[in-house]
Chain A
Amino acid sequence: MAQPLLEVRDLQTHFELEDGVVKAVDGVSLTVPRGRTLAVVGESGCGKSVTARSILRLVERPARIVGGQILLYGDEPSDDPLDLLAAKDKRLREVRWSDIAMVFQEPMASLSLVHTIGNQIVEAIRLHDEIGKVAARERAIEMLGRVGIPDPKRRIDSYPFELSGGMRQRAMIAMALSCRPRLLIADEPTTALDVTTQAQILDLLQDLQQELGMAIMLITHDLGVAAQVADEVAVMYLGEVVEHGPATSVLSAPKHPYSQALVRSVPRLGQRGQARLAAVRGTVPPPYERPSGCRFHPRCDAFMAGKCDLTVPTRVRADDTDVACLLYGEENR
């Protein structure tokens, strides 16, 4: 198997609250392939956003990364990978944006409203590349043009609130790509946008990936979005990855009962009108009380008493996907 770009190993990020510890991310392992798109899907609260933020160590109190490794591999297979969780602050700041950049959900909130877009993009460029103001500004204009902002020469001096929602997100993407990162983490980048704009932004991301060759880690709760752009999919439930594999397999023939339930709950064109949508049975359990054994067992249709509630499943290979379920693999039997 080819060396991935980024590998997350047994990541644990906990919220240390007054009433106890919430293990929002509790042993997440996943890999992001080079130049391709990994979609991380799951219900809200499953820890996918926290995972994304943990990669660049952006979590703030009361959240804290308590364990795991985040390995960023170099261009040559012989290069030693860099563990971002162990890296010094200065080294980490160099990685931020020049190797890994991020796009957030709400462009209005994640851009500063009192600085022009140009100011914010030029700042990022000049932070990582030693070029002059004029050159940086030119590159910013070029990036703005590339993400499809009309009249970028004029728009560069706009404030974010002077742009429409879609244009703002384009500007945000332009900023994220301004240092040519190898990985773009997009945390629900289209959730705040209307459906048409959403599709445009997704197309744009795919085009830019073709052009610039970066990998994309897309965090989304929307299986449709994942189906449209992902090469690989990781399904998260209660702070861990339960299934990880090629998008075609995971989305069309999911193995884990949770993934199956998720896919069933999605409306499809052509489905008979009378057929009811199946919601995932039950509700997400309260955060302090993690179910024993397999975390999904209280909601699982394939629950095996005396087994699922006792044994913690390990991740096993089934066909081309990894799945953490006692239904699969010799070790789990």
Chain B
Amino acid sequence: MLRFLARRLLWMAITLAAISFVTFVVIKLPPGDYTTTVIANAEARGQDIPDSQIAELKRHYGLDKPFLVQYWTWISGVVLHGDLGQSFAWNQSVASLIGNRVMLSILLSIGSLLFVWSIAFPIGIYSALRQYSPGDYVASFLGFIGMAVPEFMLALVMMWIGFRYFGQSVGGLFSPEYADAAWNLGKLLDLISHLWVPIVVVGVAGTAGLIRITRANLLDELHRPYVATARAKGLPEWKLLLKYPVRMSLSPFFSTVGWLLPGLISGETIVSVVMSLPTSGPLLLGAVRSQDMYLVGSFVLILSALTVIGTMLSDLALAWWDPRIRHRLSKG
């Protein structure tokens, strides 16, 4: 188990390093750099920036150095000092810009994850146990719809309904009086009362997918010989279903975190843009548009890192849950 943990941690470190490199490459892909944006903005205002000033800008931000040096400067700063670099556009340190926003993103994603689990598993299990019942058909149909509706559409429709019929904006995470207030109980309650809408919106697609997976898994298990054994032993039906096939089919509870989390974070990004939530989404969009490279990189790095960490935790949980996995791991 310890060896597994060590290997898993090592693998995670490698993954994170790879992610950081890839994101840095991606940011460097666009022709031109931040100075291009500065020049374009200046030209739009009818100003002209002298070449010397551009060179000064480039040197100031280290843009004149070779690629690997720039990468190294950035990543060593991140690792050694938690310094995510400087946002060109906001002229602030990236860390101070995104700290709160990333926290809210995490909150929203975890909230959605819990929502997905608490809805999808009971429905999936019910669907499998009552296969071809009206309830099963309804669940399957809703599942299909849930997978077909893009998150932003759902968000738009929710906003529209709120705006049209309740005369209020459903966007945002805080009421105006709390937006800039310090954290207190009132603000927390206010946040929770706002949070459920985006949580539901973000969670719908994942819920739909997980219902289908749970149902299929359980259907697979329901007719296995070990269920017949349990039945032959004289266990009451509901008891044996819960103890054997349902338990077996719950492994996805853990193993799905790996694909649920990236999906939830993606969904969270776009939903936040639509509903103008103060999470990472809108800021990321703005940063992407203005090619604010350190900001974009930090977002991709942090969001990916969170996913990787989440996946690792779920792997550990899966090993705890399923003795077969433990067995395979201890064998090497």
A–B in direct contact per CB < 8 Å:
yes
| A56 close to chain B: CB less than 8 A | yes
Q: Which residues of A contact B243 (CB under 8 A)?
A: 115
Q: Indicate the size class of the contact surface on chain A.
A: 20 to 34
Pairwise interchain contact A97-B224, C-beta atoms closer than 8 A: no
Given known A-B contacts A60-B223, A96-B234, A127-B234, A110 and B229 have beta carbons under 8 A apart: yes
Q: Evaluate contact between A161 and B233: CB separation under 8 angstroms.
A: no
| Per-residue contact bits, chain A 98-117, to B (CB 8 Å; 1 contact, 0 not) | 10011011100111111100
Whole-angstrom distance between the alpha carbons of A60 and B324 in the complex? 28
Interface residues of A in 104-150 (CB under 8 A from B): 104-106, 109-115, 123-124, 127-128
Give Cα A58–Cα B227 distance, bound, in whole angstroms: 10
Tell whether A110 pairs with B226 under 8 Å between CB atoms, given A93-B234, A97-B233.
Answer: yes
Contact A112 B230 (CB under 8 A): yes
Residue in B closest to A95 when the chains form the complex, CB atoms: B234
* Chain B 196-227 per-residue mask, 1 if CB under 8 angstroms from chain A, else 0: 00000000000000000000000000011110
Q: Does B247 contact A (CB under 8 A)?
A: yes
**Are A128 and B228 touching (Cβ within 8 A)?**
no
Asked if B248 is an interface residue, CB under 8 A from chain A, the answer is yes
Say whether A111 contacts B226, CB under 8 Å.
Answer: yes
Contact of A96 among B226, B233, B327 (CB under 8 A): B233
Q: Are A97 and B232 interface neighbours, CB within 8 A?
A: yes
A301 at the interface (CB under 8 A from B): no
In the bound complex, what is the Cα–Cα distance between A106 and B228 (angstroms)? 12
Pairwise interchain contact B232-A96, C-beta atoms closer than 8 A: yes
Q: Would you call B324 and A124 a contact (CB within 8 A)?
A: no
When chains A and B are docked, how far (Å) is the Cα of A110 from the Cα of B233?
Answer: 12
Within 8 A of B (CB), among A248-285: none
Report the nearest A residue to B250, measured CB to CB: A114
**Given contacts A60-B223, A111-B229, A113-B324, is CB(A94)–CB(B234) below 8 Å?**
yes
- Whether the pair A102, B247 counts as a contact (CB closer than 8 A) is no
Q: Mark A70-111, 1 if CB is under 8 A from B, else 0.
A: 000000000000000000000001111110011011100111
- Give complex CA distance A115, B248 in Å: 10
In angstroms, Cα B233 to Cα A53, docked, is: 13
B144 at interface (Cβ–Cβ under 8 A)?
no
Residue B7 is within 8 A (CB to CB) of chain A in the complex = no
Residues on A with C-beta less than 8 A from B226 are 109-113
Whether A102 and B229, one on each chain, are in contact in the complex, defined by CB atoms closer than 8 angstroms, is yes
* Chain A CB within 10 Å, residue with most, of B229, B235, B243: B229
Given contacts A96-B234, A102-B232, A127-B233, A114 and B323 within 8 Å (CB-CB): yes
Residue total for B at the interface (Cβ-Cβ under 8 A): 21
Give the residues from 288 to 332 in chain B that come closer than 8 angstroms, CB to CB, to chain A: 322-324, 327
Cα(A53)–Cα(B234), bound, Å: 14
Give A200-227 interface residues, CB cut-off 8 Å to B. Answer: none
A58 and B228 within 8 A (CB) = yes
Q: Provide the main secondary structure of the chain B interface.
A: helix
Is the beta-carbon distance between B232 and A58 smaller than 8 angstroms?
yes
Shortest CB–CB separation between residue A6 and chain B, in angstroms? Answer: 15
Across the interface, name the chain B residue whose C-beta is closest to A100: B232
Chain A residues whose C-beta falls within 8 Å of the C-beta of B225 in the assembled complex: 104-106, 109-110
B323:A113 contact, CB within 8 angstroms: yes
Q: Does A16 contact B (CB under 8 A)?
A: no
A73 to B244, CA, bound (A): 32
Closest CB in chain A relative to B218 CB, distance in Å: 14
**Given the interface contacts A109-B225, A109-B226, does A114 sit within 8 Å of B247 by beta carbon?**
yes
A159 at the interface (CB under 8 A from B): yes
Q: Mark B51-70, 1 if CB is under 8 A from A, else 0.
A: 00000000000000000000
Residues from chain B with a CB closer than 8 A to the CB of A94 are 234
Distance (Å) between the CB of B246 and the closest chain A CB?
A: 11
**Residue of B234, B324, B327 touching A97 (CB-CB under 8 A):** B234
Q: Of residues 222 to 260 in B, which have CB atoms within 8 Å of A's CB atoms?
A: 223-226, 228-236, 243-244, 247-248
Closest to B325 in A: A114
State how many angstroms separate the Cβ of A31 from the closest Cβ of chain B.
Answer: 21
- Alpha-carbon distance between A263 and B93 when the two chains are bound, in angstroms: 88
| CB <8 Å contact, B327 and A109 | no
Write the nearest CB–CB distance from B142 to chain A, whole angstroms.
Answer: 25
CA of A97 to CA of B225, assembled, Å: 16
With a CB–CB cut-off of 8 A, which chain B residues contact A109? 224-226
Contact B234 A98 (CB under 8 A): yes
B293 CB to nearest A CB, Å = 48
Residues on B with beta carbons closer than 8 Å to the beta carbon of A127:
233-235
Report yes or no: B233 in contact with A123, Cβ–Cβ below 8 A: yes
Q: Do A101 and B236 touch (CB < 8 A)? A: no
- Complex alpha-carbon distance, A97 and B231, angstroms: 9
In the assembled complex, how far is the CB of residue A30 from the closest CB belonging to chain B, in whole angstroms? Answer: 20
Residues of B near any A CB (own CB < 8 A):
223-226, 228-236, 243-244, 247-248, 322-324, 327
6 smallest CB-CB distances across A and B, nearest first, come from A96-B234, A110-B225, A93-B234, A109-B225, A102-B232, A110-B229
Sampled A-B contacts (13; CB under 8 Å): A58-B231, A93-B234, A96-B232, A96-B234, A101-B233, A104-B229, A110-B225, A110-B226, A113-B226, A124-B233, A127-B234, A159-B324, A159-B327
